[in-house]
Amino acid sequence: MRKPKVAVLGLGIAGSSIAATLATRGYSVVAFEQFVPLHERGSSHGDTRIFRRVPHEGAVYVELAERSYEGWKRWNSTAQAQLFWECGGIDAGPDGSPMVQAAESLCRQYEQPFELLDGREFNRRYSYFRLPDAWRVVYQPASGVVCPDATRAFLHEMARNAGARLVHDARILDIVASSHGVRVRTIYEQVDCDVLIVAAGSWLPRIFPELRIPLFPERRVIAWYPFQCPAGSAFQRSPAFVFDSGGGWYGMPTPDGQIKIGHDKHFNEPIDPEVPVRDPDQRDAELLSDCIKQYFNGVDNVPAAIKSCIYTNTTDRHFLIDRHPDHKNILFFSCCSGHGFKYAPVYGEIAESMLTGNTWSGMDLFQLDRRSTAITRFSD
């Protein structure tokens, strides 16, 4: 039986994973990206992202993480590079934190290894942390860090080697769907396909304005902080961290031995993705430096580097993975709300299951028309 010809719109992490996976499984794939390769206009770039083996967001994410964990190890082997490394990870916060309670409960439910510590015990183990003594800390040894830019480059090479055609700087002009297929017109060409998979991130509502898709892009800022003494190599072996405090802090070690910090809400600044995100300023740096001042020892509280990026939210912070309500041969993939990169190895598998009529458990949570409970997230 002939496999459908697939067009992929967007080569962030979701589109890159889908294009590479489907191409290696024998599908005819063409993928379009409106910007240059490995650009920084979306949400899939950078040196590092957190991988949490048991995500506190809920059961469906734990199951996605389980399959992704094996996928990252396969990708490491195929790439002969460290796209993912296990350095452990913590969810930490005051006693009674719903986020920390969820992390502990899900570790127990899925029988995944973890340690439950208080802040004092954790600080003794990792002396450059300064968590409040009474905090609860859920430490997961199988959590770690993934490398976005290296992963995207690897997936693009994998896709091309399997016969996929990747077209960059290709702005989409028009999409026309019918019962026979989908026609995509770019500034360069017109392509007919059986199925169109739209993984366009913040641009999805602009491509299909009539659907009023509830995606809300915001500006976020990330900063890198060096140690005051040569302790960076030790920090590379320290855990990634998520703090349920001050609206939500997260961070991780970086390959060059610095600490990378972000805030889950930052200034809740809505943006237009068509306009390049404004550069960081002193106010951004001061906000992020508060985390260093409160929770770390021996680290400069002035960032060595600082960058802005796009962070696309749904109302309930769940992903959006569904079919177009009127055209079943158009699929939407928006794995957003700040916790999507870690599941990269499974996006292609989910896409293929949708093409073949199979189902994944829990995917109803990601439908366009849903009535779901918001994920367990940071306290305000």
Give me the pLDDT at residue 380, please: 65
> 367 in a domain, yes or no?
no
Q: How far apart are CA 372 and CA 364, in angstroms?
A: 9
pLDDT tens digits for range 193-249: 999 999 999 999 999 999 999 999 999 999 999 988 765 555 557 899 999 999 999
Residue at 227 is within a domain: yes
Give domain status of residue 21, yes or no.
no
Please write the tens of the pLDDT for every residue from 166-183. 999 999 999 999 999 999
* Pairing state between β 195-198 and 330-334: parallel
Q: Count how many domains the chain has.
A: 1
Residue 317 has what pLDDT? 93
CA distance 243 to 136: 10
Residue located via tokens 């796209």: 83
Kindly report the number of other CB atoms within 10 A of residue 371's CB atom.
6
Q: Does residue 132 lie within any of the structural domains?
A: yes
Tokens linked to 249 = 């802090």
Please give the order of strands across the beta sheet that includes 84-86.
49-51, 144-146, 84-86
CATH number at residue 105: 3.30.9.10
Phi and psi of 226, rounded to 5°?
-85, 160
CA neighbor of 105 nearest in space, from 360, 336, 376, 379: 376
- Range(s) of the domain holding residue 309: 86-143+216-313
Domain annotation covers residue 322: no
Task: With respect to residue 13, please indicate whether it lies within any of the assigned structural domains.
Answer: no
- Tokens (6 digits) for 172: 């989409």
Question: What kind and span of H or E run contains 139?
Answer: strand 136-140
pLDDT, average across residues 95-111: 97
Q: Is residue 72 part of a domain?
A: no
CA distance 344 to 148: 10
Assigned domain for 18 exists:
no
| The pairing of beta strand 28-32 with beta strand 5-9 | parallel
